[in-house]
Amino acid sequence: MLGDDRALINQVYEAAVIPERWLKVLEQISGFAGKDGGSMTTILGEGERSWLGSCPLAWCN
């Protein structure tokens, strides 16, 4: 299990520099935690907000 933990941590660091990977990372974190989905909210210094949610939390088809 420790190898899985390290792989997930590595993927979080990769997503920090390659934002397109966050959705997959959220799905993996949710699965690791035994949950249905996950979300992440960001707030920039100017107050601009953005969010990302994995299915089924986001509006998915």
CB atoms within 10 A of CB 22: 19
Total-model pTM: 0.74
What pLDDT score was predicted for residue 43?
A: 87
Give the pLDDT confidence of 32-43 residue by residue, as tens digits.
Answer: 889 888 888 888
What pLDDT score was predicted for residue 9?
A: 93
Specify the 3-state DSSP secondary structure of 53. Answer: strand
Judged against a pLDDT cut of 90, whether residue 1 lies above it is answered with: no
DSSP letters for 23-48: HHHHHHHHHHHT-S--EEEEE-TTS-
Nearest 10 degrees: CA dihedral of 3, 12, 53, 60? -60
Domain range summary for the chain, segments of one domain joined by +: 2-53
What pLDDT score was predicted for residue 56?
A: 67
Give the pLDDT confidence of 6-53 residue by residue, as tens digits.
Answer: 999 999 999 999 989 999 999 899 888 898 888 888 888 888 888 888
